[in-house]
Amino acid sequence: MANSLKDNAKYKKWLKTHHFGNCKLDRKDYGEFLSNYITGEKDGFVLNLNGSWGTGKTEFLKRLYSHMLDENHPVIYIDAWESDFSKDPLTVVTSELLSQLEKFNGGIGKLEDAKKVKELFGKVLKGTAVGLAGLTTHVLAGSASIGADVVKEIVASDPKEFTQELTKNYASQIKSIKEIRECLGQLAEVLQSTYKYSLPVVLLVDELDRCRPTYSIEMLEVIKHFFSTKNFVFVVATDTEQLCHSIKCVYGDGFESEQYLKRFFDRKISLPKPDIDQYVSLMDCPDDLSSDLYLFPREHPQDYSSVQLSIAALAKSYDLKIRGVDQLFSKTVSCLRSASEACEKLAMKQVLNVPVLILGLIEQDSNSEWYHQQAYNSKISVENFKFDALYNNMVPTRIVIIIALEAITLKQRIDKHHQIENFKYWDTINSREIRSLISQKSKEEYFNVLRSYIEFCDLHKSELFNVWLWDSYKKLIELAGTIE
């Protein structure tokens, strides 16, 4: 009987596609910690899972969904933004809750408690003059609040009738809400005693911060007033800062939106920052690039690790979120494929400076002044590069970027007979910043980087190699910039 929980779950496909075992962000420990935390809170607990845009909240919730199924907990997933077209969040939550519960074991809808819950919700919805969710936001009667049309009709009638109707409906709703909570609690207990499922029932609400401000507020009102009951817990994923802004759009800039949200959430927990290095290391570079495509820096021919290393280093330096990293990787791959195709079309080996390409993609996407200053130059300006966006503690990244920029503009030919171990090639790197950042002791750390760029600069001498200058990068960057 226990297997039927997984077999009949609405999103059972996530068990294969989304689980913590294949989480590129390595959030397995965090997911298990959160699971233990919320399942220990069984009395109408509402948790706000906070994460800014692009940090992977949806991917995490899908994996948490699979994990809860593995732990034998009935789990409901609701995409609030998907239902934003609805005027009534009460109907949305009720429908998803009961329909997804009914899928477990296929016959749960026949239980008397489930039937009674449906009848009570129907009574609340049909008998609503203003509606509890609508009443809390009745100042927005002209918007999409629940029962707005009915409100207008009643207000236009006799004042005495309006008062009587409002009192009648209010008393009926309070009674129904109490009964709904009792029935939901009893339903949860039946799930445990009859079907051997573990409690609490877990409801995951996603994308609330993307919804219309009024809809977001009403959804929170509905969760708190109707579903705050024993053996049910909610995890509401939001960009909480953005949600606060949405609330201020309704109540005004001076409104204490953070304090207001505390009415609905018992606790707030934030997604941990992802390990960008690990995430990028699991991305697959294309394996069909031309053997005539040379990417620098590199330690040996056809070494594409510089792509992942450069993306990871610059993504951290510019504080890119996961969605931004995905977008950057997609753009980079598109550029590499175009460069690879150029090898075949031009019958010539193409030599790319990877940090310069990726740096250009980031700067172009941010519409930076530096990028546009270089837009029509054949050589890129190292001196004018603004490092404001790079974190001060990202010294290795700064060094590699400066060396990469120096290499693309270097006119001086480096003598192949220089002895690497004597570091004579440092004289060709003119940037004062490099000299200030690198101590004599730390030079060895950048041995391979500099050795790679010596080879890069030497390729200028050969007619068989097309070493890209800024104009070539710029054209490709502009094309890739259309990818969002």
- CB-based burial label for 376 (10 Å; 0-12, 13-18, 19+): exposed
Which residues in 293-314 are b (16+ Cβ under 10 Å) and which e? bbbbbbeeeeebebbbbbbbbb
Give the chain's largest Cα–Cα span: 101
Residue 284, pLDDT above cutoff 90: no
pLDDT at 163: 47
Q: Which fold has domain 3-270?
A: Rossmann fold (3.40.50)
Q: How far apart are CA 240 and CA 217, in angstroms?
A: 13
What is the torsional sign of CA 368, 373, 377, 381? negative
Query: The whole model's pTM is what?
Result: 0.74
Asked if 82 contacts 125 with a C-beta cutoff of 8 angstroms, the reply is no
> Which of 326, 346, 318, 84 minimizes the C-alpha distance to 205?
84
With bands split at pLDDT 50, 70 and 90, how would you rate the model's confidence at 120?
low
**Token pair for 226:** 């109707």
Q: Which amino acid is at 1?
A: M
pLDDT at 115: 66
Q: How far apart are CA 329 and CA 444, in angstroms?
A: 29
| SS percent in the chain: helix, strand, coil, step 5 | 60, 10, 35
For 450, what's the count of Cα atoms within 13 Å in the CB-facing half-sphere? 24
pLDDT at 59: 94
Indicate the domain borders of the chain: 3-270, 276-480
3-class SS of residue 218: helix
Asked if 380 contacts 405 with a C-beta cutoff of 8 angstroms, the reply is yes
Asked if 409 contacts 382 with a C-beta cutoff of 8 angstroms, the reply is yes
- Of 394 and 452, more confident: 452
pLDDT tens by residue, 303-353: 677 788 889 888 888 888 898 999 999 999 999 999 999 998 988 999 898
pLDDT at 392: 43
Q: How far apart are CA 201 and CA 215, in angstroms?
A: 24
> Which of 338, 331, 383 minimizes the C-alpha distance to 360?
331
pLDDT average, residue stretch 290-306: 77
3-class SS of residue 238: strand
3-class SS of residue 18: coil
Question: Which residue bears the tokens 């409690």?
Answer: 199
Phi, psi (deg, nearest 5) at residue 7: -60, -35
pLDDT tens by residue, 155-207: 445 555 544 544 555 566 667 777 778 778 888 888 888 888 999 999 999 98
Q: How far apart are CA 18 and CA 16, in angstroms?
A: 6
Average pLDDT, the chain: 76
Residue 142, pLDDT above cutoff 60: no
Q: 205 forms bridges with which residues in the sheet?
A: 78, 236
With bands split at pLDDT 50, 70 and 90, how would you rate the model's confidence at 98?
confident
With bands split at pLDDT 50, 70 and 90, how would you rate the model's confidence at 136?
very low
